[in-house]
Structure 1
Amino acid sequence: MRKIIVLEFLTLDGVIQAGGGPTEDTSGDFVYGGWQVPYSDDVINKVMERQMNMPFDLLLGRKTFSIWAPYWPEHSEIWPSVMSVTKYVVSNTMKSHTWNPSIFLNGNVVDKIKTLKQGDGPNLHVYGSANLVQTLMQHDLVDEFWLKIYPLTLGSGKRLFAEGTIPAAFKLMESQISPSGIIIANYKRAGAVQTGSF
């Protein structure tokens, strides 16, 4: 069985939109694109290098795939494996693309993703893909979150934990803090929410 691992860069107030550049995603009149860039340091770079070079396939939303497809083939020396891994793309409008291998999921995508999880192969990594991540969380399909939490707030933008997130418990598996203040925290699903009283 494969795991679905959501890897996200987010602000203290949970914004995941357009961390990599000003034109990455301006939807909703978002003007803070590129907010990650000033915080880059050796620690976050090494963490990303390790995570990006383990065995994986990609599970992406259409918008993220559309941003990545023209970029990564031109910069494949940075991340060679992204060219050969299977890219599962959730889209009701896109049926094919020249960036292969790509497989497009449409219709009842929740059932199709459940079938993917049950199959053989490497874990499925999800980057960006805000709408897809909401669907995955609503259907309890996320096994792990690998988060990079940046020391700033933006007040607006697409958020990781939006309305509709189900109650769920997680266990911290790994954590560190980079010199620029990025909290790197990996969590895995740990059953139902427990409550108590003091």
Structure 2
Amino acid sequence: MRTVRIIEHISLDGVIQAPGGPEEDRSGGFDHGGWAYPHHGHEAGMAIDKAQGQGFDLLLGRRTYDIFAGYWPKQTGPMADSLNGARKFVATHRPDSLEWGPAESLGTDIPAGIARVKEAGGPDLVVWGSSTLTPLLIAEHLADEVVLLVFPVVIGRGRRIFSDQVQPSELTLIASKATPQGVVISTYKPAGAMRTGSF
């Protein structure tokens, strides 16, 4: 059984859209792309390398797949080699246009497709971005770990990691550290339904 690990650059107010550059994702008129760059240091890079591991496959929503496909094939270095060489499993209605390979569609039943890929065995499945896929992974109990790199910025609007479709749930913190640049890196495991109470 594969581990599904969500890794996200996230603002203090939950935005994950376009952390890497101004042109990464301008959908919805988003003009704050590149917000993670000023705070991204060596320690954050090391945390990403550790979370991804040496060998992994990618589990992506279509928008993130297209963004990555337009960028990573033109890059060189260890990160580019890892992402370009990874097998990509994509939530898409256009399976015939997955040119950045090796890649395959998850099919029309996305939860069933993810479960099939997870159960088939192989390297860990890493999820980047994919703001419509991450809530589904949590809601369907298919995510095993959530690694958040929380940046000291407030953006106000943009695509967020979790939408209103997420069912109330809890996560257990298993590791946390802060970088000199103020990025808090926290790793969680899903822990079931949310509890409530009163003080």
Q: Fold match, TM over 0.5?
A: yes
Deviation at 1:192, TM superposition (A): 2.7
State the partner residue of 2:10: 10
Within 2, Cα distance between the matches of 1:88 and 1:103?
5
Across the two proteins, how many residue pairs are aligned to each other? 198
State the partner residue of 2:67: 67
Deviation at 1:31, TM superposition (A): 0.9
State the partner residue of 2:52: 52
Percent identity, please: 38
Deviation at 1:13, TM superposition (A): 0.4
State the partner residue of 1:25: 25
Kept after mapping to 2: 8 A contact 1:56/1:124: yes
Within 2, Cα distance between the matches of 1:173 and 1:69?
32
State the partner residue of 1:182: 183
Within 2, Cα distance between the matches of 1:159 and 1:98?
27
Within 1, Cα distance between the matches of 2:93 and 2:68?
18
Q: Deviations over 1:54-104 (max 9, x none)?
A: 332100111111111132122131412222221101100242433221112
Query: 1:128-139 counterparts in 2 under 5 A?
Result: 128-139=129-140
State the partner residue of 2:174: 173
Deviation at 1:166, TM superposition (A): 1.0
Kept after mapping to 2: 8 A contact 1:92/1:105: no
Within 1, Cα distance between the matches of 2:192 and 2:158?
29
What amino acid is aligned across from residue 162 of structure 2 in structure 1?
F
Deviation at 1:7, TM superposition (A): 0.5
Kept after mapping to 2: 8 A contact 1:53/1:81: no
Deviation at 1:105, TM superposition (A): 2.1
State the partner residue of 1:86: 87
Query: 1:101-120 counterparts in 2 under 5 A?
Result: 101-120=102-121
What amino acid is aligned across from residue 129 of structure 2 in structure 1?
G
Deviation at 1:134, TM superposition (A): 2.5
TM norm structure 1: 0.93
Within 1, Cα distance between the matches of 2:28 and 2:98?
27
What amino acid is aligned across from residue 51 of structure 1 in structure 2?
A
Deviation at 1:195, TM superposition (A): 3.3
TM norm structure 2: 0.92
Runs of 5+ unmatched residues, structure 2? none
Kept after mapping to 2: 8 A contact 1:105/1:112: yes
Backbone CA RMSD of aligned residues: 1.6
Worse overlay, 65-74 or 182-191: 65-74
